[in-house]
């Protein structure tokens, strides 16, 4: 029998609990490998139901200033995709339940070599991939090899994904569907809850998969609002901004930046967890 993936198991559990999941995004290697690993290990206890781990890239065309800066900090500290897989391996020594999805741009995966990457990623304990610049039109590049290796390849749907295009986007989707709440870059505007609810319902019906929403969700209130209408809420820029502010406040002590991030994660995770009871 095919083993149930960590993503499927986690979303099943969330459905049984009748609540949405909280999915924090952090950049692997930001601000350095050790701090990033410590943060990653502490996130599940702070309420992370799954983790989106950013793969740094010099040219993040869909990211706003906060995540651009996070990627640059990681690059400056010597982060590479190889080290990101090492980070996941270390995390997996202690946590075999929390799904990890890598999110990034195609070129680092391309440079690693697709066949070698999907094998190594699977072995490291990665569960899924979100590759921003690989639309369904470029499926042969990485989605097919990733699926063959047992990794979920998460589709992005956006406000520009119209009804005519939806089947192409959802065909072969796996894991969950990531709904980008608004046309724009990360950390800027966010979508309006009514429109997001409608889009999420359509995506869920058409794909049979859980739907996560992200982009521009910065407050516990907004996270809770979305948690009532989708299966998971992704927060990235707000956490990364908190990290950046803490690093600025105490430049010599990156370890001191961990707690402020976890504290915000607990607030957001708590709001998501409680949303449907409210």
Partner 1 sequence: MEKPNSYRAGPDRDGRFGKFGGRFVAETLTPLVLALAEEYDRAKKDPDFHRELEYYLKHYVGRPSPLYYAERLTEHVRATAATGKGAKIYFKRDELNHTGAHKINNCMGQILLARRMGKTRIIAETGAGQHGVATATVAARFGLPCVVYMGATDVERQKPNVFRMKLLGAEVRPVASGRATLKDAMNEALRDWVTNVADTFYIIGTAAGPHPYPMMVRDFQSVIGREAKAQMREAEGRLPDAIMACIGGGSNAIGLFHPFLDDPGVEIIGVEAAGLGLDTGEHAASLSGGRPGVLHGNRTYLLQDEDGQIKEAHSISAGLDYPGVGPEHAWLHETGRVKYVSATDREALEAFQLCAALEGIIPALEPAHALARAVEKAAEMDADQILLMNMCGRGDKDIFTVMDLLGDDDAPR
- Contact predicate 56/226, CB 8 Å: no
Q: Rounded to the nearest whole angstrom, what is the least distance from the CB of residue 144 to partner 1 in the complex?
A: 15
Active site residue 241: no
The two three-digit tokens of residue 72, written as one number: 């640059």
Q: d(Cα 139, Cα 129) in Å, to the nearest integer? A: 13
Binding of partner 1 by 61 (CB under 8 A): yes
- Contact predicate 196/211, CB 8 Å: no
Member of 162, 205, 252, 277 binding partner 1 (CB under 8 A): 162
Member of 20, 185, 230, 272 binding partner 1 (CB under 8 A): 185
Member of 86, 132, 149, 206 binding partner 1 (CB under 8 A): 132
Binding of partner 1 by 60 (CB under 8 A): yes
Q: Rounded to the nearest whole angstrom, what is the least distance from the CB of residue 65 to partner 1 in the complex?
A: 8
Coil/strand/helix, residue 264: helix
E strand spans, 177-264: 177-180, 211-214, 232-235
Nearer to partner 1, 58 or 263 (CB): 58
Please give the distance of CA 254 from its chain centroid, rounded to a whole number.
23
Member of 94, 96, 137, 248 binding partner 1 (CB under 8 A): 137
Q: Which of 230, 226, 238, 244 is nearest to 265 (CA)?
A: 238
Question: Binding residues for partner 1, per CB under 8 A?
Answer: 56-64, 68, 75, 80-82, 106-112, 132-135, 137-138, 155-162, 165, 169, 180, 183-185, 188-189
**Residues with catalytic annotation?**
52, 63
């Amino acid at each position: 029998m095919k083993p149930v993936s960590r993503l499927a198991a986690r979303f099943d559990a969330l459905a049984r609990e009748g609540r949405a999941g909280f999915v924090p995004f952090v950049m692997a290697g930001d601000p350095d490998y050790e701090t990033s690993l410590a943060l990653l290990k502490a996130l599940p206890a702070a309420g992370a139901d799954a983790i989106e781990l950013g793969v740094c890239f010099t040219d993040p065309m869909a990211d706003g200033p906060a995540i651009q800066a996070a990627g640059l900090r990681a690059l400056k500290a010597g982060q590479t995709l190889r080290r990101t897989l090492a980070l996941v391996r270390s995390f997996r020594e202690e946590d075999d339940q929390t799904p990890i999805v890598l999110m990034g741009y195609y070129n680092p995966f391309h440079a690693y070599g697709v066949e070698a990457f999907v094998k190594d990623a699977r072995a490291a304990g990665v569960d899924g991939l979100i590759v921003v610049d690989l639309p369904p039109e470029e499926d042969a590049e990485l989605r097919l090899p990733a699926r063959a290796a047992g990794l979920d390849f998460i589709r992005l749907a956006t406000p520009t994904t119209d009804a005519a295009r939806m089947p192409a986007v959802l065909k072969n989707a796996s894991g969950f569907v990531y709904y980008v709440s608004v046309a724009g870059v990360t950390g800027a505007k966010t979508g309006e809850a009514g429109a997001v609810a409608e889009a999420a319902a359509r995506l869920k019906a058409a794909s049979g998969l859980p739907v996560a929403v992200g982009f521009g969700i910065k407050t516990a209130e907004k996270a809770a609002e979305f948690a009532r209408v989708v299966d998971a809420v992704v927060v990235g820029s707000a956490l990364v901004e908190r990290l950046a502010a803490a690093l600025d406040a105490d430049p010599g002590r990156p370890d001191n930046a961990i707690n402020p991030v976890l504290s915000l994660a607990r607030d957001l995770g708590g709001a998501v967890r409680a949303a449907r009871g409210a």
